[in-house]
Amino acid sequence: MTLGEACLRYHEEVIKGKPSEIDELNAMKHCGRLIGDEKRLVTLTNDDISIAVRKRAGETKGKKTPQLIAPATVNRQIIEIMRKILTRAKRVWHVRLDLDAFDWTGLKLKEPKERVREFVGDEADRFWGALREDYGAFVWFLGSRGLRVNAAIGMTTDHLDEPRNRIKIWIKGEGFTWVPVTREQMKVIAAEAAKAPGKAVWSYQMQRYPNRGKRRPITYSGFRRTMTTTLRTAQIVDFRIHDIRHDFASKLLRATRDLALVQKALRHADISSTIRYAHVLDEDVRDGLEALEAPAHARIGHNSGKFQKQ
């Protein structure tokens, strides 16, 4: 069995129709490209996968400002999918493979620790004071719903269900999916869609003549430039576009104390991705410790004379 044949079979038997289908198909394409679709499974070595990992890690994404593929993406697209395919080939398809020959842990690239950043102090006030008014509704929606920026920017009027207060958007790993919004969020969405050209929901006003005042759909590149200007004007450092989502998640967990609810709101496939926000619950621990300390302090105060004598 070749790698190409194994990928086709794995698709048909395991991932077809699942939320992760698109992402895993994309990963298998990278494996076939970097290792070789005609490579026989029984001839695969640890070094073959290691070379594919290094090649993928050296590739870039983006045209104007190319960036190297993130280690987490490389691990997911090469190591994790190959491990799944080879494990099934051995245990289900009875291909004669020595799974112990592959050092999956050693093959993995080191991933940077996930950061969680939210507005602190008066940062939110400074941010809103510096933000352009025509981008206000869009940023408010991001901050109040916590969707990924690309998913929100891509919203169209034919994917709005106002009676049920829900929208259909592209969710990573799931494809187009209906997600709930509040009544207030739907009012804002409908109002912005009424102003936007075509089927777009979110738009901005052009600033330069001869098109000044005309509305155009918000694009990711345009939003990125606006965010850069806003953060610089507000003198907020170490804050990225995706941190709006982090800010939402942290505040939602702080308000609800419910990790499972936050997981659903963010559309995380695995709650392990949501655990990064668990630091918010440290406040509960601190409150509990302080409550425990209160009677102890009272006893210490009552016996303070004894301590002073010692």
> Tens-of-pLDDT digits for all 310 residues of the chain?
999 999 999 999 998 887 678 889 999 999 999 999 999 999 999 999 999 999 999 999 877 778 999 998 999 999 999 999 999 999 999 999 999 999 999 999 998 777 789 999 999 999 999 999 999 999 999 999 999 998 899 899 999 999 999 999 988 767 788 999 999 999 999 999 999 999 999 999 998 889 888 999 999 889 999 999 999 999 999 999 999 999 999 999 989 989 999 999 998 877 878 888 887 887 777 777 777 776 655 555 555 555 444 4
Contact predicate 71/16, CB 8 Å: no
Whole-angstrom distance, CA of residue 40 vs CA of residue 5: 9
How is residue 129 written in tokens? 């004071």
pLDDT at residue number 208: 87
pLDDT at residue number 307: 42
pLDDT at residue number 217: 95
Contact predicate 98/86, CB 8 Å: no
Q: What's the per-residue H, E or C state across 62-82?
A: CCCCCEECCHHHHHHHHHHHH
pLDDT at residue number 278: 83
- What residues contact 260, with CB distance under 8 A and at least 6 apart? 271
- What residues contact 240, with CB distance under 8 A and at least 6 apart? 117
pLDDT at residue number 75: 95
